[in-house]
Structure 1
Amino acid sequence: MTPTKRKALSDAQPTTITARNPPWTYLKLQLLHQQHSTPSTSALQTPLDPLTARTYLSSALSQFLGQMGTSIPMDILKVSPEPSQSHSQSQSTDRTIWIRVPRQDAQAVVTAVSSWIGGAGSDMADAEGGVAWRVCAKGNFLGALVRGDGRDLFVP
């Protein structure tokens, strides 16, 4: 009986599992300044903190979906300033954040943040100009979204 059991175990095929409905969607967003006039460099160089990012995101969701939009759970995974790729004289920084939202709410969040512009002179924007979000990347798996290993997400 032992030889047949060994043969049966050696003929077994490996089992693969596919995650078809992941619970989360990950978004990489970039905060841009809409410059109406010549902005001061100090306003553009201030780092983006999680509280300000959350305020901007809540404003966008509230404007698009009302009270239901502000109830969408959202995790801010990372807030990081990155050097601007534009060749402007002001040496501004583009601020990037990584967030996680439930998969079923992802399309509403993308639509809300991509259509939102914080008005100039309001409590949601700098006095020199408005702010807006740009969706840089969206995906259901964080590893695939950051091109493989995800190391840049956890670098301080």
Structure 2
Amino acid sequence: MPVPVDGWNREERDETQTQRLDRNWACLLQELRVVLTGVQLLTGFLLTLPFQQRFATLDENLHLLYLATVGCSIAATVLLTAPVALHRLLFRRHMLNQLVTVSHRLTMIGLFLLGAAVSGVATMIFEVIAGRQAGMAAGLFTATAWVALWVALPLIARRGTEADVLR
């Protein structure tokens, strides 16, 4: 019979629910530090593209792909930085459980949009350089890779385990 989550945390980590929330918040912030630099650089790069001379020569499909990609990248940036603003507004209000829960959800959606933006960038770059088929292949490969590594692999790894959450 599995040990209840709170029991496992007390026995294995010797931590209270509050300490666990503090640990979860610290882990989430570290993960955000890793991803934020990349998403901010990607967004900055995308925001400069329309001001390049060659951008005007792209066809309507690439302009639409660009808009979808930059939209995903901007939304990812907003969602992945939102936990910091949320923390500031909830600071010292004893709402750590809500902070961790909402920030986790914002991060998951932000990562999904980041993956979509990276796939869009791969599609655009390969299409401009090597043609539409190469662009589609690169976008499909990139999307498949991030879904496999960011979604499927973690879901497979967590099979048979129990979530470490407050009930």
TM-score after normalising by structure 2: 0.27
Q: Higher relative contact order by CA 8 Å / sep ≥ 6: 1 or 2?
A: 1
Which is strand-richer, 1 or 2?
1
Which is helix-richer, 1 or 2?
2
TM-score after normalising by structure 1: 0.28
